[in-house]
Structure 1
Amino acid sequence: MTQREEELARVLSGPEFATIRPDDLSVRDYSLLTLRRARLLNGAGFAANSLWLGRGDSDRFPEFLRTMGWIGAYDLSLLNVLVSHQIAGDALLSHAGAEQLGSWAAEIDSMERMYCFAGSELLAGSDLKQVRTVATYDPRDRTLVLDTPRPADSKVWTGNSLHSGDVAMVLSRLVVGGRDEGHHWLRVPLRADGRVLPGVRIGRAEPKGGVTANQTGVLTFSGHRLPLSALMNRWASIDEEGRYSSPLPRHRRFEECLATFTHERLFPSVGAAYAQLLACAITTRFAAVKQTFGRPLLGHEHYRMRLTAAVGRSLGARHAMAALSGIAVARSAQGAPARDQVLHALISCGKSGSTGDARTTLAETRELCGGLGYHDANQIAPLLHDYEIAVTFGGDNTVLGYQATRFALRHRADFDKVLDEAAAGATRLDAARVLRAVCYALLDRVERDGAGEASAQWSRAVHQMLALGHWAREAANPLSERLLGQYAAACVLEHALTGLRAGILDQDALLGFEAARHEAAGASLDADALLRELAVPEGLISAPIAHPDFAERHAAVAHAGSGQPAHP
């Protein structure tokens, strides 16, 4: 735990953050409270676009990513408010010309104005190549006229927009002189002095299934006139004669517009990883105290097997995120990270693995805490509710698998080098050798048969390979080694059919991995040692069940405000 992470934990346990979701607040007021919290964290230097890779000191990026992870463990709504602003800000910072940067960069980093990211549309969904929002150049007054052709082309899931968004970064087609010039980013004011501007309609993308305090809107434009300066002009311009020019061919303009997503996908990934760590820490503390059949829950072998499987996934996700941040820093020295397709594919795999595992881990830890795990005050159920959507936003995990395999095949030698280095860090693990071979076999299948089921399996195997390589280098005590071995065996067993089909494994080898997993999972467990391994800041743990007097705390919460004593 770094000093900066300890400072963040103190802030998140302070008076402004004491209750994550106050019961007496409406959803709107909770959203506005979350916005105030986001600005407080931004003002304290914990989260800002200047900390993104390529914009500041690269050595600070891993700590920034960990910080964002703990914010996501505290409340995914808070993380999403920050991320919605930052990815919109990055779209401007990455595509604006010098004069535009001079006008707007400062308000992004200070959060003086709240930015919204408007990429997805109702009909196009994750297929951003099909967006139909259109900006048409009007030569009469040299303006752009922004329109939503059909209701189905409205921008959807636009975070920060519903109540307070000032500016949206809109992914739009650009039409000049009757010619569609493809995808471009536009800076689009939504409000002035708190009032929605003419030509802009903001509807509700709510109620949602979770992440309730990230106020999401549906944006529809009708003849919304913009100055020409709204067009991001680092690589696109319209001259005095109304002629469009760009140094990029049309297909490259689309790829350039998507560059900002490389960073964006790290944030739900690291939030999902750290939410798992928090849930496992709460469960461990509860299981050390809660008595059943004459002994603590941790005293039962099957309970330990289930808990340590969840712990393994959460630690694996943390190590995969650490590996990815290290790779990103190293590769950024060679070129712009947003244009690095290998890095983009690796981050997509990490997103798929971490968010997919979070859905499993949070459900398992909720169940391991029994009915009390379902209580909102005990933190796990809200995390489970919120993080279920993480497999979809930031790029649907299945679609990301298709894209990542395409990039990996396009740059296979470079990609194989990264995975070989990960495997080299875990040479003492037979499972790492097997998993590396599984990655090869799955990518070969994609190359032969096309994207599909194997793409999703491959992206998970890559996530697991990165986790094993980093974890094996960092494991510093017997408990860490044991959890690593259990996680490694579980990864191999997940890909057993691929291993058998490719001749990587036989029945005896599989039975050996299952025996190793079972032995490690069922061994006795020291709660304090496990909590040290999870390393969750104390300030993030507010669940009553995470304390020895959880029953008294829960009873006090139950009777608060009832007018009746807790102990009549």
Structure 2
Amino acid sequence: MTTTLPPVPTGANDAGAVANATGPISANESSESPTESHLHVDDDHRIDIDGLTKVLDGRWRDMRVHGRSIAADPDFARPMNISKEDHRELTLRRLKKLAERNWSEQMLPKSLGGTNDPGGNLAAFEELVAGDPSVQIKAGVQFGLFASAILHLGTEEHHKKWLAPTMSLDLPGVYAMTEIGHGSDVSAVGTTATYDPETEEFVIDTPFRAATKEFLGNAALHGHAAVVFAQLITNGVNHGVHCFFVPIREDGKVLPGVSVEDDGEKGGLNGIDNGRLAFDHVRVPRTNLLNRYGDVAADGTYSSDIASPGRRFFTMLTTLVQGRVSLSGAAISAAELALGIAVTYATQRRQFADFTGINEVVLLDYQLHQKRLFPLLARTYASAFAQEDLLQAFHEVFSGEGDTEDNRIDLETMAAALKPTSSWLALDTIQACREACGGAGYMAENRLVGLHDDLDVYATFEGDNHVLLQLVGKRLLGEYANSMKDMDTGDVTKFIASRAETISTRHTPWRRLLQSAADLGSVRRTAASLRDSELQVELISARAEGLIEELSLDLR
């Protein structure tokens, strides 16, 4: 097959590219070229591309345009026919170019030379996936994880010492949380940081093989230091997981006591030097503890403004939730990119003659082709709107506009819900678009197979999707339990009995609609009401509430 996909337009993952590709199709296109046939559309039926783009881009439109301009630069395109070693060095050079452009300065408060626009920072980051996803994820490791840990878990002393070289990439860093034996269960990591009051140092140690830090970007080659999550032990008491700044290389050489292993070739994202780190009684100064939420005095006395160890741990991890928020947005951008490619191709590629027996039909005129792409397009639009809400919630917390404990809990729950659904949507969409483009979709130059390879790990990045959804379920069930906490035993028993009887008679989700038909006196009017957005939200909310209630009763 010699057919190739049409060139992807600049910023092909914006709403304009997708909306233009899915405009109304002319019924008579016998004398027009494949491209022209979809450009001449009656103004009354034309999609307002600029308006739709503004709606989808939301509050941080300018930052998204900025991110797209970088992604569209050929200097940031995903390379082909390149070795893992060359890809890693290319990605590092590209990351330095980003640093020269003051990339991610928006994440910093004004007191540190930034603009205090964390939402805008992530909006631009999401768009980088349209270039080389390896660059995006390496930027995420450096700025979104390593620098963010110093910013949010450290104090002024740490900011002055390490943030500037981190942002300029003079100090490439590693985010050392995940271990071979512990991924999502961060509270149980095996790495220890034992305080020695005689030398006022923490001793960082990997006591067994499963405590080795694993899958760490920048670890195999480029990282000079790591923020290491370890069990803080002082005066014989374990105070739980805290974060420590630990140098790992100097002048390109691995420091004594530090062991490095290269993870080697991966299924995708081979521009990132993932590796393992282990520590053999590596000593760091007491001041290398990132001590915003917990500190150790010279004599070994531990102190924290948050008395509860569980709440303290949750607070520390919530400060780093931006990884899930940004991955959700990047996954949606990847789905948009894939749809931009596949829908554009479907408006130009022709196959089989129409009723005249002469003119071939474009793929998008076939109902089967519409059925495989349009639902994914609709889901992607919906996900983009949901991501905008998530980004707004993130910005309110991290900019200080609305940093409350309740908002942080809501943000954590929303991120844990959207990251799985967005990453799964991206993988489903990219695969469907690949198939919809036939053999042309399998050619590496047309992006789709490489995009799937690079996005595949998103389903387990920042927590396995299924585990994250369990976190959401736990939160919802907890809220349901709280709604009944003021009832006595008798009240609860009566309530459960009444609700169980109600649920047992709920055979279909249309029961309420049938009642509406009786109230309105017209089935047609009832059916028309399904298009009402408020009713749709009410139906979905009622469905969610019903599922939570049924699950709660089943568990009892």
- What interval of TM-score do these two structures reach, taking the shorter chain for normalisation? 0.7 to 0.9
Please report how far the alpha carbon of residue 359 of structure 1 lies from its aligned counterpart in structure 2 after TM superposition: 1.4
Query: Equivalent residue of 2:347, what SS?
Result: helix
Please report how far the alpha carbon of residue 110 of structure 1 lies from its aligned counterpart in structure 2 after TM superposition: 2.6
C-alpha change, 1:206 and 1:444, in structure 2 (3 Å) is farther
CA distance in 2, matches of 1:264, 1:243: 33
Please report how far the alpha carbon of residue 340 of structure 1 lies from its aligned counterpart in structure 2 after TM superposition: 0.8
| Aligned residue identity for 1:216 | N
Q: How does 1:108-257 map to 2 (within 5 A)?
A: 108-249=166-307, 250-257=309-316
Residue 545 of structure 2 is aligned to residue 440 of structure 1: yes
Query: Equivalent residue of 1:258, what SS?
Result: helix
Please report how far the alpha carbon of residue 389 of structure 1 lies from its aligned counterpart in structure 2 after TM superposition: 1.4
| Aligned residue identity for 2:188 | Q
Query: Equivalent residue of 2:216, what SS?
Result: strand
2:368 matched to which residue of 1?
Answer: 302
Q: How does 1:146-545 map to 2 (within 5 A)?
A: 146-249=204-307, 250-293=309-352, 294-330=360-396, 332-335=400-403, 340-410=408-478, 427-428=532-533, 430-449=535-554
Normalised by the length of structure 1, the TM-score is 0.72
2:72 matched to which residue of 1?
Answer: 13
Q: Choose 1 or 2 for highest CA Rg.
A: 2
Please report how far the alpha carbon of residue 53 of structure 1 lies from its aligned counterpart in structure 2 after TM superposition: 12
Is 1:328–1:337's contact at 8 Å kept on the other side of the alignment?
Answer: no
Query: Equivalent residue of 1:135, what SS?
Result: strand
From 119, 126, 132, the equivalent of 1:75 is: 132
Is 1:338–1:344's contact at 8 Å kept on the other side of the alignment?
Answer: no
- Percent identical across equivalent pairs? 28
Q: Aligned residue pairs: how many? A: 438
CA distance in 2, matches of 1:401, 1:353: 9
Name structure 1 gaps, 5 residues minimum: 416-425, 452-568
C-alpha change, 1:137 and 1:428, in structure 2 (3 Å) is closer
Which structure shows the higher helix fraction?
1
C-alpha change, 1:184 and 1:263, in structure 2 (3 Å) is same
CA distance in 2, matches of 1:34, 1:369: 29
Is 2:68–2:130's contact at 8 Å kept on the other side of the alignment?
Answer: no
Q: CA deviation digits over 1:431-472, x for unaligned, max 9?
A: 333211122123324444569xxxxxxxxxxxxxxxxxxxxx
Q: CA deviation digits over 1:486-538, x for unaligned, max 9?
A: xxxxxxxxxxxxxxxxxxxxxxxxxxxxxxxxxxxxxxxxxxxxxxxxxxxxx
Q: CA deviation digits over 1:354-404, x for unaligned, max 9?
A: 111111111100100111111111111111112121111111111111212
2:9 matched to which residue of 1?
Answer: none
Query: Equivalent residue of 2:194, what SS?
Result: strand
* RMSD, matched Cα: 2.7
From 36, 39, 45, the equivalent of 2:93 is: 36
| Aligned residue identity for 2:420 | S
Query: Equivalent residue of 1:265, what SS?
Result: helix
2:159 matched to which residue of 1?
Answer: 101
| Aligned residue identity for 2:163 | A
Is the deviation greater in 322-331 or in 157-166?
A: 322-331
CA distance in 2, matches of 1:188, 1:143: 12
CA distance in 2, matches of 1:53, 1:389: 34
Please report how far the alpha carbon of residue 90 of structure 1 lies from its aligned counterpart in structure 2 after TM superposition: 1.4
CA distance in 2, matches of 1:263, 1:54: 21
CA distance in 1, matches of 2:266, 2:119: 32
CA distance in 2, matches of 1:144, 1:213: 33
CA distance in 1, matches of 2:104, 2:395: 18
Is 1:54–1:336's contact at 8 Å kept on the other side of the alignment?
Answer: no
Please report how far the alpha carbon of residue 430 of structure 1 lies from its aligned counterpart in structure 2 after TM superposition: 4.2
